[in-house]
Amino acid sequence: MRGERGKNGRGTTAEPRGLRLVLSPLSPFPSLVVFSLAVAVLAGCSESVAAPPDAPGADVPKNVILLIGDGTGPQQFGLLMDWADAAGKSPTAFERLAEAGTTGMLRTAPAEGPLTDSAAGATALACGVSTENGMIAVDPKGNPLTTCLEDARAKGRHTGLVTTTTITHATPACFAAHIGNRGEEGEIARQYVHDGLGADVLFGGGQKYFPGELRTEAAEKGWAVVTTREELAALPAGTGKSLGLFAPSHVPYLLDRDQEGEEKAPTLPEMATKALEILSRDDKGFFLMVEGGRIDHACHANDAPAALGELREFDDVIALAAEFRAKHPDTLVIVTADHETGGLTVTSGRPPYNVSAQTLVALTKVEKSIEGLGIGGKPPKDFDPAAKFGAFNANFYPPVYWVADAAALERSSRFGVTFSTGGHSTTPVPIVAAGPGAAVFSGIHRNTLVGKKLREWMSK
């Protein structure tokens, strides 16, 4: 973790709207403040806005669209909403879905302690069971757990997984693979194809984990294998099983995607749109998980412009899902996260605490992520953290982070965004849901509630 906060600081106050949480790093109890404000505001949203009626008599969803913002806590959603206000694009799709449905909070602890990783977090969301960090849809002893996607498939529903990470990364893998070590992505790919555990639709990055023979086997087993944005767009809705591998590793950040040429990776909304076309081609029903996976990566890197780009794209997917639900009221849409990453905070860090609308809008004018710029490594010997981060902010960044994230931290701080860690935090994450069964998520729950309810519904 980064250095301890000062003992004599004073917190600032901000008027919340939706889930907006703009907190100063001066707050002596930042996690408690985030948690308390979020719960209060969420409760207010749930009581003040009436949800539209679902399909008559429906209490079990026919279709489920589960949207996971990896690493996306209240702070990240707060940044998205503050940017939307500043840019004249408020309310966000996230806020509109909250107004139409139910809001709550999820605690994210794994089996062995308070701090989770994506593997344990997604296992809870997929299976309803707490496991240890690094484990993919297996219990702490290594025994396979049944996932809600597997339940859906057993009942004849179509299934899909879409992400901006490798399709074999921890979050998607927890819905369709079983292994004790999340790092064995080649084995996860083999389970998808050779063992037949994968979903009908698999869209994301990760070409390197699907060598030629595995892609050939996938084609022989009925998958249409595509690798470009144009090939994705050309897939007809009646295609059925589809494997889309759009980058050697992770799909590039929104900031870094080439704006020209046939090799440009598809956007997350483009992948989600095609997945919905394929999965809803008949009346069998479906389960679809869409992950904004690189929100987490940007926050690990302490790169605020990259994080906001991924958040904006994720919000576009929320809008797509809400539009689909409006036409298909037997659909449940859930938006949540596996954990929070980075301890993101919006603050100027020094008097007069005047982060402006112009500052937030300027975040979207940045053209490349720190990763895309190829900047990193050890800072020069004469590196002056006070000069780079500001005399006040420098107190929060000990040398270990100057080495790893110096360039990103310095750039993020120009826009009034700071981070307390390059890792995960224990901050509870929001859950917003609309559709049949959504009311069960109101309040504060363990993340295992999601997996338990999805397994229950997808088994019917």
Dump the DSSP string for 12-67.
------TT-----TT-SSHHHHHHHHHHHHHHHHHHHSPPPP-STT--S-SEEEEE
**Which residues partner with 68 through β-bridges?**
291, 336
Cβ-contact 125, 338 below 8 angstroms: yes
**How far apart, in Å, do the first and last CA atoms of the chain sit?**
44
Scored b (16 or more CB within 10 A) or e, 25-47 reads bbbeebbebbbebbbebbbebbe
Asked about 280 being catalytic, the answer comes back as no
* Phi, psi of 396, rounded to the nearest 5 degrees: -90, -5
Cβ-contact 320, 328 below 8 angstroms: no
**Which residues partner with 290 through β-bridges?**
67, 162
Cβ-contact 317, 292 below 8 angstroms: yes
Scored b (16 or more CB within 10 A) or e, 74-96 reads bbbbbbbbbbbbbeeebebbbbb
Tokens 């981060």 found at: 389
Q: And the tokens for 441? A: 């998520």
Q: What is the pLDDT along the chain (460 residues), one digit of tens a residue?
A: 333 333 333 333 333 333 333 333 333 334 434 444 444 444 444 333 334 444 444 589 999 999 999 999 999 999 999 999 999 999 999 999 999 999 999 999 999 999 999 999 999 999 999 999 999 999 999 999 999 999 999 999 999 999 999 999 999 999 999 999 999 999 999 999 999 999 999 999 999 999 999 999 999 999 999 999 999 999 998 888 999 999 999 999 999 986 554 468 999 999 999 999 999 999 999 999 999 999 999 999 999 999 999 999 999 999 999 999 999 999 999 999 999 999 999 987 655 556 889 999 999 999 999 999 887 655 556 667 677 666 656 655 555 555 556 788 888 888 989 888 888 999 999 999 999 999 999 999 999 999 999 999 999 9
* Phi, psi of 455, rounded to the nearest 5 degrees: -65, -40
Helices (H) and strands (E) in the chain, counts: 17, 14
User: To the nearest 5 percent, what fractions of the chain are helix, strand and coil?
Assistant: 40, 15, 45
Rounded to the nearest 10°, the torsion over CA 12, 17, 21, 27 is 20
Q: How many CA atoms lie within 13 A of 92 on its CB side?
A: 27
- In whole angstroms, give the CA distance from residue 102 to residue 90: 20
Task: For helices 304-327 and 93-100, give the axis angle rounded to 10 degrees.
Answer: 40
Map out the domains of the chain with their CATH numbers: 62-344+427-458 (3.40.720.10), 345-418 (no CATH)
**Which residues partner with 117 through β-bridges?**
none
Helix or strand (DSSP H, E) at 243: strand 242-245
The pTM (predicted TM-score) of the whole model is: 0.85
Length of the chain measured in residues: 460
Whose CA is closest to 298, among 290, 288, 308? 308
Dump the DSSP string for 355-423.
--HHHHHHGGG--S-HHHHT--SPPPTT--HHHHH-TTGGGG--HHHHHHHHHHHHHHHHTTEE-S-SS
Per residue in 361-393, pLDDT (tens digit) is 999 999 999 999 887 655 556 667 677 666 656
My answer on whether omega of the bond before 74 falls inside 30° of 0, hence cis, is no
Residue of 118, 130, 413, 425 marked catalytic: 118
Per residue in 314-346, pLDDT (tens digit) is 999 999 999 999 999 999 999 999 999 999 999
Cα–Cα separations (whole angstroms), residue 308 to 21, 147, 254: 15, 31, 9
Helix or strand (DSSP H, E) at 69: strand 63-69
**C-alpha R_g of the chain:** 21
Cβ-contact 147, 163 below 8 angstroms: no
Phi-psi region of 21 (alpha: psi -120 to 50; beta: other; left: phi over 0): beta
- In whole angstroms, give the CA distance from residue 90 to residue 132: 39
Tokens 């490798």 found at: 166
Q: And the tokens for 139? A: 């219990």
Dump the DSSP string for 279-307.
HTSSSS-EEEEEEETHHHHHHHTT-HHHH
